[in-house]
Structure 1
Amino acid sequence: MRISTVTMFEQSVSSMNRQQGEFMKVGQQIASGRRVVNPSDDPQAASRAVGVSQSQAVTQQYADARVSARNALAQSESVLNSVSNAITGGKTLLVQAASDTLSDVDRQSVASELRGIYETLIGQANATDGNGRYLFGGYKDDSPPFIRDGDGKVAYIGDQSTRAQRIDASRLMPVADNGAKIFQSVATGAGYIAEAGDNTGNVTFKGPQVTDPADPGFGETYTLVFDEDGGGNPIFEVTAADGSVVTDGAYVPGQPIAFGGLGLTLEGSPAPGDEIRVGQAEAMNTDLFKSFEKALAVLENPAATPAEKAGLRNTLNTVMRELDNGLDNVLTVRASVGARLNELDVVDAVGGNRMMNYEQTMSDLVDLDYAEAISEYSLRQVGLQAAQRAFVDIKGLSLFDYLR
């Protein structure tokens, strides 16, 4: 069989090109550090690598979401700590103001300090995060959740929902509680509160105290109303929310009145029509701002008559209980925020382990074994050099070299 010179040249060039292509492929792998540079290098591994890469991207998005959630919760926790301190400071001032040794001027001085705490509390309720969003407005976070109405009272206009953020595929975490839950609610089991009406007598109360939680009427709301018998002596009547009379009798100062598993001790002289309402905390005033407003109203006005002094004492007693309940509620929400911060740490650890698994899987699929690649690189280099040398030798073969 006769082989033409053209055929020998073509085969030699083809061999050199093939060897050079393999040599360059290994060089590209070493330069990139990847075994699978193009999908054609290993179609199955390349296909699996795409899926793993997508999972890595989703996991990283959840990690970024957890950073955002942690920032929001940390800011909420910091604000709630300030709110707790404000409530505690307000309670301390009210205990001071309840002293009989203080004059009207002294109480006005206390009221001035209490108003400063009240304004601080409003500012904390309208706190924003680092992005300018209001923390406690729910999903309506583009405007202050608490505003003053025409009478100067604080009202909540935020959303009733709790803003949540997905921190993992199976977890949607609340990242900011709404203001109504924090500043206008009480914790479960907050107990009973007594509140006097616009009385004209000077009767004051202590309590109520829980005496029998097993009483069938325990948990209901009651109204104690004073009147006079035919001889002008004070009497009382306690009615339930449905209007039924629970108990009645002659009023004796200092003698506890029992009803619905509760005990209420009264002092002073009531006037006909005076009343005291007793109910569970969630059925009474639950608004922290209203509690401060009630206290400021009685402290900023002189208490000259016995009725005004009794109203002052009753209001301060009521507000102090309301502040205790409000503080318990804020601490409950703060504990919930702390629990969510701890949960973020746990989810972060799980997400970190998941990302490490993805990275190991990706490495197994596409990363290069350098020892093997360098050996292959040397082999391909020798192959290319051999092909080049063979071409040189074949090119030199000619019958004319032997014709003399």
Structure 2
Amino acid sequence: MRISTAQFYESSAANYQKNFSNVVKSSEEASSLVRVNTAADDPVGASRLLQLGQQASMLDQYEANATTIKGTLGTTEAVMSSIGNVLQRARELAVGAGNAGYTDADRQANASELGQIEEQLLSLMNSKDENGKYIFAGSKGDTVPFTRNNDGTYSYNGDQVTLDLAIGDTMSMATNSTGWDVFQQAINTSRSEVTQTAPVVDDGRVTLSNGQVSSNVTYNAKFRSGEPYTVDFVSGTQLKITDSLGNDVTAEASQGGAFDPASKAGQAVSFRGVELTLNINLSAGDTAATVLPGHTFTLAAKPDTFSATGSPGNPSTAQITASNITNPVNYHASFPSGSAVLKFTSATAFELYAAPLTASSKPVSTGTMAGSVATASGVSFTVSGTPAANDQFSIAVNTHETQNILDTVNQLKTALNTPTNGNPIAIQKLQASLASGVANLASGTDQLSSALSSVGGRGAALDTQSDTNQSLKLANAQTQSSIRDSDPAEVMTRLTLQQTMLQASQLAFSKIAQLGLFNKV
């Protein structure tokens, strides 16, 4: 077979270029020890490296998120611990105020310190993080979570939304604890009330406390279904309890409703999950069998109350000054639970919405004012001034099933500031208020402890997940290295071989070139 000179040179040049290219590539690989620089180097390996790179980026983000959460949890834990210490001091003051040797001045001194504690609690509960966001406001980090109302009670202005960050492929964690969960959901043990109905003028011979809820299960299952109850003193040693349908349920009370009229200490009366304190105050010459019958009380859960706040952007200066339930059936059927928005569409027409009010919200109730009263879903609101179109009022509903610890401290302060002047009946009422305050402080502390445990649990889970992520990062780096990086011995061996082949191709070219016809001329 004959080979033309052109073919010979083209073939030799192509072979030389290929060998030279291999030597250059292997030299670069020997210098960098990186085997895969482009997808052409190893299509399968390059694809796997892309996946591993994406995983590495996500692991870096998880690590950043974990750092953010750890910082927030640390701040939250510190604030909660401080609040716990403050609540403990408030409880000590409340317990101490029940000392029989305390005077009104002593109790007022305790009340003064409770006032300072109240301000300290409000400040702590409105704490901010390092970014200037309110810790306990939920997702509304720029909104002050707790504010004092005109009547001295407190409102929560945040929401119930936790801000979650991913810390793993299938795991997210809340960065915050909402004020709603930490402070608003403490069980209110003082959510029943007693009202004397006879005699019309209280003679002070019988005092019956509002009572403390001792069993939520029994209270919700039995007490609520039979209220309001009537408590009649039918003799000098026996009381009778009837439910709203007139059924005699006295047998469910402790001692079957029997009491000792001669007892000087408060007597406990247990009934359907509620603990009441009964005090009999007989004067000289009184006979229990003669003066106690005819004393009658009603016993029921505290009715829901409402706190109305006008929107800062309201066109008018109208305000809601009072509110009360006037139609219980309509109220329970349609009034929004938790909170609502009352919006005026004119000076007299209004609409009631479930909060929050959005562009797609539909009113649950509409109406027209009767004089200065707007009645929506069974609740009447008294309005001072003339409303204007687009006036809006936020309505917070207090069912008394839970109570903010700020309200508990405020109520204790008020009770201790109320003078007794040595009056036994006033002292008995004070003792009932103290018992209620101590119980609600304990409930608030329990709720805070639960929230603190949640923070600790998240911190422990975060540490575990961070360790897992670190292990994944190490495995990811090792896998990438095994795919991308070269074996130095293999590269040097291959480079030596390719250099030898390059030299051989150069020598072969020079030898074959000497076989040309021109060398024979």
Q: Give the TM-score normalised by structure 1.
A: 0.80
Aligned equivalents of 1:162, 1:242: Cα separation in 2: 45
Do the aligned partners of residues 302 and 389 (structure 1) sit closer, same or farther apart at CA in structure 2, a change above 3 Å counting?
farther
Q: CA deviation at 1:351?
A: 2.5
Do the aligned partners of residues 160 and 291 (structure 1) sit closer, same or farther apart at CA in structure 2, a change above 3 Å counting?
same
Aligned equivalents of 1:276, 1:99: Cα separation in 2: 29
Do the aligned partners of residues 169 and 141 (structure 1) sit closer, same or farther apart at CA in structure 2, a change above 3 Å counting?
same
Moved more, 26-35 or 139-148: 26-35
Do the aligned partners of residues 257 and 96 (structure 1) sit closer, same or farther apart at CA in structure 2, a change above 3 Å counting?
closer
Moved more, 137-146 or 99-108: 99-108
More contact order relative to length (CA 8 Å, sep ≥ 6): 1
Once the two structures are superposed, the pairs formed by residues 2-401 of structure 1 within 5 Å of their partners are 10-186=10-186, 192-193=189-190, 201=204, 203=207, 220=223, 238=241, 246-247=249-250, 252=261, 253=263, 254=265, 255-260=267-272, 264-267=276-279, 269=281, 284-304=401-421, 306=423, 307-387=425-505
Contact 2:190-2:210 within 8 A present in 1 as well: no
Aligned equivalents of 2:411, 2:453: Cα separation in 1: 28
Do the aligned partners of residues 169 and 30 (structure 1) sit closer, same or farther apart at CA in structure 2, a change above 3 Å counting?
same
The letter for the 2-side match of 1:220 is F
Aligned equivalents of 1:133, 1:214: Cα separation in 2: 38
Aligned equivalents of 1:151, 1:125: Cα separation in 2: 20
Aligned residues: 395
Match of 2:355 in 1: none
Q: CA deviation at 1:219?
A: 5.6
Aligned equivalents of 1:163, 1:385: Cα separation in 2: 67
Do the aligned partners of residues 362 and 213 (structure 1) sit closer, same or farther apart at CA in structure 2, a change above 3 Å counting?
closer
Aligned equivalents of 1:194, 1:159: Cα separation in 2: 24
Aligned equivalents of 2:472, 2:164: Cα separation in 1: 23
Do the aligned partners of residues 302 and 27 (structure 1) sit closer, same or farther apart at CA in structure 2, a change above 3 Å counting?
farther
Q: CA deviation at 1:95?
A: 1.6
Contact 1:19-1:384 within 8 A present in 2 as well: yes
The letter for the 2-side match of 1:178 is T
Q: CA deviation at 1:218?
A: 6.8
The letter for the 2-side match of 1:376 is R
Secondary structure of residue in 1 paired with 2:167: strand
CA deviations on 1:96-143 (whole Å, 9 max, x unpaired) are: 222232333332322222222222211221122222222211111222
Contact 1:22-1:380 within 8 A present in 2 as well: yes
The structure in which a higher percent of residues are helix is: 1
Q: Give the TM-score normalised by structure 2.
A: 0.64
Secondary structure of residue in 2 paired with 1:173: strand
CA deviations on 1:210-254 (whole Å, 9 max, x unpaired) are: 6x999899762577877777x9x8986646577866336778344
Cα RMSD (Å) of the superposition?
A: 4.1
Do the aligned partners of residues 284 and 7 (structure 1) sit closer, same or farther apart at CA in structure 2, a change above 3 Å counting?
closer
Q: CA deviation at 1:157?
A: 0.7
Do the aligned partners of residues 208 and 50 (structure 1) sit closer, same or farther apart at CA in structure 2, a change above 3 Å counting?
closer
Moved more, 60-69 or 285-294: 60-69
Aligned equivalents of 2:508, 2:174: Cα separation in 1: 74
Do the aligned partners of residues 351 and 87 (structure 1) sit closer, same or farther apart at CA in structure 2, a change above 3 Å counting?
same
Do the aligned partners of residues 175 and 149 (structure 1) sit closer, same or farther apart at CA in structure 2, a change above 3 Å counting?
same
Secondary structure of residue in 2 paired with 1:40: coil
Q: CA deviation at 1:385?
A: 4.4
Aligned equivalents of 2:246, 2:113: Cα separation in 1: 42
Unaligned ranges ≥5, structure 1: none
